[in-house]
Structure 1
């Protein structure tokens, strides 16, 4: 899949593997990291990525995974598998610690079942075989030694040894004190030599003490003698120790035989620890480089958003003076090959290596340091030509090595191949290297390959500009400050800035002038044009950014204007409607007044004085009505009160519904919390009207009467048997709302048993109803699960 083999080193993937290996806790985990290879199956890659992502979330947001003691179980299991072999005390102790860790890990994920779905796939339903731990704990203590009471015989032997050692020590003390009194002893006290209790005697006195000489000091001045008085006691201790060792071996053999049937399970435990250690190391590395999981595509294409080369990013974290500039690049069906040009040391090679390294990492199940919106597809092959591969053994020059790779690329590349070529066509005479490179590029394009290619050749830039499927791109360069910006710009070729860089370095002017003459007017004009284009492009880009910012501000202003206009229109319609209603009422009152006036005039038989007085009253009343009519059609007469007129405790009427209630609280966002009996509601200030004192008294009285009447005639039971689900839920909702409003504690719902469908829908609805705290079945004797009690709280 990868050609040549050293491409993983050239792209930096080997260094990534080494960094991940350093995160592993076990040798088995490190071996798995060493074997990481890019995969080509979508399901497999997706699973590896999601496992790493889940472990990353676990490390960042959950309690630590219990991985205190991880030892290799596989070699212990393989040793125990052999008939007649047995594990040592130390090996059983390591196995015990590893089993405790495995069981703690399994319990950890069992407690979080479903939370880490892809990590749970690693367990393959492994059981916790507690008998293994119990069996080992009965023999091995917490210091890794066989327990003194592991068997009755072992306990008896330990007691005999202690007693014999005590007797020998007591006898030896007597001999030693006697030798000291005679001045025969050297400096020091009773010691052990070759497992025997001895006393230090001066060399000139060693014949004066009967016994066996076991050792001498380095100077030969001291002899370590086992006195004959304790000889038989030491022999007894030695015999007892041999017997104890035989009993310990018998216990270890017996314990090994006991765990031998569980060897396959132990091997599975080993695999689990290795896999978890492996995924954990990948997740820790992902945290170090602030990596995310990109969108995985099945197609051979990619779109990197704010991608950062992981190795450069790690270096930048240690040295803040060299920040990593994010890379944005896209390769798809339309733009299959990106031809990157620009100045030396401008970031072309880093751009190409970032694409290649990201592709290797993702297809190996590793997260990458880029935005989550990035998408990366799957390539069957990755071909790379990077650096100098000249070979003395193969008699290949640098250019010959490049041509050998181009031959391989042209022969075996296809639509699902990612081709990465650095400094395409270099290594020979540009007059010939350029056309050959162009011909190779043409062949690769015919094969529909994808790739990133860096070059300085102008003919390749022109070819890319006129060829479908190939996209020019350039690394931006600040030609004012003469320094690279390391930003990739798609859509145009870049200049090499050879003369500008040479001038900055300080190359003499006469040399530069001579070079410009020699390079030819046409080439010089092309390079100058590229420089001018880049400068103009930069200015256009800055202008576009400013225009986009202004357009965004205008859109925001437009949205605010539309919102305000809509609000004004709504208020206007409401004000006019109320004004018309008031005007209509005023006119009706005026008509009645006129009719009454005419009736009064008739009643006084058109008496002149009486008629004049009646007309005066009529005109006065009509003037009042005209003033009221004028004010009713004026927007200023709106009954809506301003925010400052309302206070907690005021009574208001909700304009939409006509409901009346008391203000309990005024929130920061100009909303009101209003009490409507036992019910609370939140509403905007501009949707209420403040009640006058008389209206307030009436409203309080009405609400009290309403609450009393509601409680009196409320029946806390609803029967929906035989009803359609929609009708039943509607009926239950009406009764529930009324129960909440009057503060009733519970509601009995009779729905019947049947197939249980209606009961299930009703209970699903009750779970979503905010005021229902719980619900339960009726007693079995009184209807059971055919009746549901809903408790309101």
Structure 2
């Protein structure tokens, strides 16, 4: 499928696999990464991509997957398969830990049934066979050692050994003490020789003690003797130890025999762990390169939107270089081959390699650093001519090697072939290399191949302009600042900017003039025209970018206006409803008042004084509900106070409210803190507080802040939360900590796969008031806890 075979290395796909292998937890997972190959079945490619996408979503948004122990089960299962063999204690312990991991993973996905449909295909309906775990747990403890009560005989032998060792130790202590009292011993305590506990005896006294001499000191002045009675006790301990070891082997052999029928299931479990480790590594790498799943197409087409070369992306991030400029390129039935021209070091080769590498990644089931609106088809063959493949052994020069590849390309390519050629036609006399390259390009075009080709040859640019299926493209170049922009523009060829670059480097003017005189007038006009086109293209590109930005701003303002209009309409209806209700109540009360007044006047039988009093009360009630003419209030303003700075206290004139300045922005704007709220006010709308008035306000706000700080908890636990929920809570607590002036915040996020920790720390880097952050001490949680220091 790929020709030549070293094209995988030259496109950088081997480096991609090495980076993914670094993410694996098991050797079997790394072996699967090593076997990654581009696929040609669309269903298989789709399944691999969706599994990676689902695992990526799981790592970012769900609880951590329990992958604590991924020991290789397969070699242990193969060993257990052999009749009469037995697994060691530590081997059973590894199987036990791996099975616990397998069952925890199966339960994890069972609890999320239907949420990760493509990952669930990895399980192949594997059962949870708890009988295996129970059988092992009866015999092996959590330290990987055999339990003393694994059998009655083993318990009895263990107790006998313990008892005999205690007796031997007690006896040798007695003999040692007696020898010390007799003055037989050398300086020092009991010591081990040949695995036996011995007494250091002076050489002249060694005949006075019965026992076995195990060793002597270098000077010969000290003999290390095991007393006779202790010697027999130690021999008894050793005999019991041999007998215990035979019992241990019997138990292990019996346990292995019980495990043997489950070997096929163990191999299936091994396959599951390997596949999960493999997909997990692909998902972690996808997160590193900010990758997405593109739309797949059955056709031989490519439409890459805002793609970036993954290796360049990682290197730029590692070296703190400027961000990688995204690339947009489209290859379809109409524009089958993109001929890329432009200046040296302008990004032509990177463009071509990016297309080839990302195509290999997609067909290998890897997500790519591109917008999810990108569309990628599949190719049965990928042919690449990159770099110098001259060979002394094969008697091939650089150009001969290029021609050998062109011969293969023209003979075996078809409409399902992606062709990638760098610096097409170079390596020989341009007078002949150009026409040969044009003829090869014509032959490839007749076969309707797809591809990206880079060149400097003008005849190829002209041929592409006049031939259906071929499309010129160029890498933009800023001919004012004389620097490449790394932006691909499709539709027009680009100049090599040879003279401009030579001039910038400092080549003498006389040499440049002589060179210009040596090229033909027609060629000079063509190159000048390309430079002018390049300049016009850049202006159009910049204008288009400015228009797009302006359109986004207008769309944002339109949405804000519509939202505000809707809010006002809703409030208007609410105010009218409330006003109508209030009016209805007033009328009701007024009717009642009039009726009562009439009744009172009748009751006093037209007494003038009492009638006047009743009327006065009526007018008072009417006045209460009569709207007084509003007195126009003058909008209070003041001269902008240029002395206002961060930390000052001011009074907002319109609201008659005090606030503290937390930022002085451009355009006479102040950002003020009102308790836990923030607002933006012009300088001429506030008055700076001073003296007693300022002290009074500070005292009041300190009291409020003290009460708020008393309720504040400077510790946030987000373990097990989804990323969005965790960041939302972190933002709330950070804002409150800043308002009340709290110096540090403790964030418990756990270790897991490190995804939640990465997102939290990325957020802390962007939060202006966080000066720095650090891990907790290793003894108290290490990198599972982050301390954020607030300035």
- TM-score greater than 0.5 by the shorter chain: yes
1: CA distance, partners of 2:557 / 2:140: 78
Could you report, residue by residue, the CA deviation over 1:121-166 in whole angstroms, capped at 9, with x for unpaired residues?
A: 0001111111111100000011111001111111111111111111
Q: Aligned residue for 2:496? A: 496
Q: Aligned residue for 1:54? A: 54
Q: Does 1:690 align with 2:580?
A: yes
Task: Using the TM superposition, give the Cα deviation of residue 468 of structure 1 relative to its aligned residue in structure 2, in angstroms.
Answer: 0.4
Q: Aligned residue for 1:428? A: 428
Q: Matched residue of 1:206: which SS?
A: helix
Q: Aligned residue for 1:307? A: 307
Task: Using the TM superposition, give the Cα deviation of residue 223 of structure 1 relative to its aligned residue in structure 2, in angstroms.
Answer: 3.2
Range with bigger deviation, 517-526 or 242-251: 517-526
Q: Aligned residue for 2:471? A: 471
Q: Aligned residue for 2:508? A: 508
Q: Matched residue of 2:106: which SS?
A: helix
Gap change, CA 1:217 and 1:110, over 3 Å in 2: farther
Q: Does 1:484 align with 2:484?
A: yes
Range with bigger deviation, 87-96 or 165-174: 165-174
Q: Matched residue of 2:473: which SS?
A: strand
Q: Aligned residue for 2:73? A: 73
Task: Using the TM superposition, give the Cα deviation of residue 167 of structure 1 relative to its aligned residue in structure 2, in angstroms.
Answer: 1.4
Q: Aligned residue for 1:318? A: 318
Could you report, residue by residue, the CA deviation over 1:251-302 in whole angstroms, capped at 9, with x for unpaired residues?
A: 1001000110000000000000000000000000011111111111111111
Q: Matched residue of 2:317: which SS?
A: helix
2: CA distance, partners of 1:309 / 1:173: 74
Task: Using the TM superposition, give the Cα deviation of residue 690 of structure 1 relative to its aligned residue in structure 2, in angstroms.
Answer: 3.4
2: CA distance, partners of 1:261 / 1:86: 14
2: CA distance, partners of 1:333 / 1:459: 23
Could you report, residue by residue, the CA deviation over 1:440-492 in whole angstroms, capped at 9, with x for unpaired residues?
A: 10011000000000000000000000000001000000000000000000000
Gap change, CA 1:398 and 1:326, over 3 Å in 2: same
Gap change, CA 1:557 and 1:220, over 3 Å in 2: closer
Q: Aligned residue for 2:327? A: 327
Q: Does 1:535 align with 2:535?
A: yes
Task: Using the TM superposition, give the Cα deviation of residue 72 of structure 1 relative to its aligned residue in structure 2, in angstroms.
Answer: 0.3
> Which segments of 5 or more consecutive residues in structure 1 lack a partner in the other structure?
565-642, 644-666, 674-682, 702-793
Q: Aligned residue for 1:448? A: 448
Range with bigger deviation, 260-269 or 229-238: 229-238
Gap change, CA 1:550 and 1:84, over 3 Å in 2: closer
Q: Aligned residue for 2:611? A: none
* RMSD (Å), alpha carbons: 2.6
1: CA distance, partners of 2:569 / 2:91: 73
Q: Aligned residue for 2:89? A: 89
Task: Using the TM superposition, give the Cα deviation of residue 218 of structure 1 relative to its aligned residue in structure 2, in angstroms.
Answer: 5.4
2: CA distance, partners of 1:303 / 1:332: 8
Range with bigger deviation, 145-154 or 200-209: 200-209
Q: Aligned residue for 2:231? A: 231
Q: Aligned residue for 1:770? A: none
1: CA distance, partners of 2:585 / 2:177: 116
Q: Aligned residue for 2:45? A: 45
2: CA distance, partners of 1:419 / 1:162: 76
Task: Using the TM superposition, give the Cα deviation of residue 180 of structure 1 relative to its aligned residue in structure 2, in angstroms.
Answer: 2.1
2: CA distance, partners of 1:468 / 1:223: 100
Q: Matched residue of 1:16: which SS?
A: helix
TM-score with structure 2 length normalisation?
A: 0.71
Which has the bigger relative contact order, CA under 8 A and spacing at least 6?
2
2: CA distance, partners of 1:490 / 1:356: 18
1: CA distance, partners of 2:165 / 2:552: 93
1: CA distance, partners of 2:505 / 2:34: 45
Q: Matched residue of 1:224: which SS?
A: strand
Q: Matched residue of 1:229: which SS?
A: helix
Task: Using the TM superposition, give the Cα deviation of residue 78 of structure 1 relative to its aligned residue in structure 2, in angstroms.
Answer: 0.4
2: CA distance, partners of 1:369 / 1:417: 23
Task: Using the TM superposition, give the Cα deviation of residue 545 of structure 1 relative to its aligned residue in structure 2, in angstroms.
Answer: 4.7
1:671 is aligned, of 570, 578, 584, to: 570
Gap change, CA 1:559 and 1:74, over 3 Å in 2: closer
Task: Using the TM superposition, give the Cα deviation of residue 226 of structure 1 relative to its aligned residue in structure 2, in angstroms.
Answer: 1.5
Q: Aligned residue for 1:195? A: 195
How many correspondences in the alignment?
Answer: 590
Structure 1 residues 162-177: aligned runs within 5 Å:
162-177=162-177
Contact 1:24 1:278 in 2 (8 A): yes
2: CA distance, partners of 1:244 / 1:425: 79
2: CA distance, partners of 1:318 / 1:557: 38
2: CA distance, partners of 1:175 / 1:700: 118
Task: Using the TM superposition, give the Cα deviation of residue 528 of structure 1 relative to its aligned residue in structure 2, in angstroms.
Answer: 1.2
Contact 1:153 1:247 in 2 (8 A): yes
Q: Aligned residue for 1:519? A: 519
Q: Matched residue of 1:336: which SS?
A: strand
Gap change, CA 1:447 and 1:238, over 3 Å in 2: same
Q: Aligned residue for 2:186? A: 186
Structure 1 residues 96-135: aligned runs within 5 Å:
96-135=96-135
Task: Using the TM superposition, give the Cα deviation of residue 189 of structure 1 relative to its aligned residue in structure 2, in angstroms.
Answer: 2.4
> Which segments of 5 or more consecutive residues in structure 2 lack a partner in the other structure?
592-791
Range with bigger deviation, 127-136 or 538-547: 538-547
Structure 1 residues 621-636: aligned runs within 5 Å:
none
Structure 1 residues 184-263: aligned runs within 5 Å:
184-217=184-217, 221-263=221-263
Gap change, CA 1:105 and 1:215, over 3 Å in 2: farther
Contact 1:197 1:234 in 2 (8 A): no
Gap change, CA 1:332 and 1:24, over 3 Å in 2: same
2: CA distance, partners of 1:279 / 1:337: 34
2: CA distance, partners of 1:218 / 1:21: 54
Contact 1:65 1:105 in 2 (8 A): yes
Q: Matched residue of 1:540: which SS?
A: helix
Task: Using the TM superposition, give the Cα deviation of residue 560 of structure 1 relative to its aligned residue in structure 2, in angstroms.
Answer: 12
2: CA distance, partners of 1:388 / 1:284: 34
Gap change, CA 1:231 and 1:61, over 3 Å in 2: same
Range with bigger deviation, 188-197 or 304-313: 188-197
Q: Matched residue of 1:285: which SS?
A: helix
Range with bigger deviation, 683-692 or 394-403: 683-692
Q: Matched residue of 1:451: which SS?
A: strand
2: CA distance, partners of 1:91 / 1:382: 46
Contact 1:50 1:118 in 2 (8 A): yes
Could you report, residue by residue, the CA deviation over 1:690-737 in whole angstroms, capped at 9, with x for unpaired residues?
A: 378469768999xxxxxxxxxxxxxxxxxxxxxxxxxxxxxxxxxxxx
Task: Using the TM superposition, give the Cα deviation of residue 517 of structure 1 relative to its aligned residue in structure 2, in angstroms.
Answer: 1.4
Contact 1:40 1:363 in 2 (8 A): yes
Q: Matched residue of 2:229: which SS?
A: coil
Structure 1 residues 570-719: aligned runs within 5 Å:
669-671=568-570, 690=580, 693=583
2: CA distance, partners of 1:5 / 1:692: 86
Q: Matched residue of 1:63: which SS?
A: coil
Q: Aligned residue for 1:27? A: 27
Q: Aligned residue for 2:657? A: none
Q: Aligned residue for 2:152? A: 152
Task: Using the TM superposition, give the Cα deviation of residue 210 of structure 1 relative to its aligned residue in structure 2, in angstroms.
Answer: 2.3
Q: Aligned residue for 2:354? A: 354
Gap change, CA 1:448 and 1:167, over 3 Å in 2: same
Contact 1:341 1:455 in 2 (8 A): yes
Q: Matched residue of 1:230: which SS?
A: helix
Task: Using the TM superposition, give the Cα deviation of residue 684 of structure 1 relative to its aligned residue in structure 2, in angstroms.
Answer: 6.8
1: CA distance, partners of 2:461 / 2:43: 39
Q: Aligned residue for 1:588? A: none
1: CA distance, partners of 2:469 / 2:117: 41
1: CA distance, partners of 2:234 / 2:559: 101
Task: Using the TM superposition, give the Cα deviation of residue 374 of structure 1 relative to its aligned residue in structure 2, in angstroms.
Answer: 0.8
1: CA distance, partners of 2:296 / 2:590: 65
Q: Matched residue of 2:144: which SS?
A: coil
Q: Aligned residue for 1:459? A: 459
Q: Aligned residue for 1:410? A: 410
Q: Matched residue of 1:150: which SS?
A: coil
1: CA distance, partners of 2:93 / 2:557: 73
Contact 1:670 1:685 in 2 (8 A): no
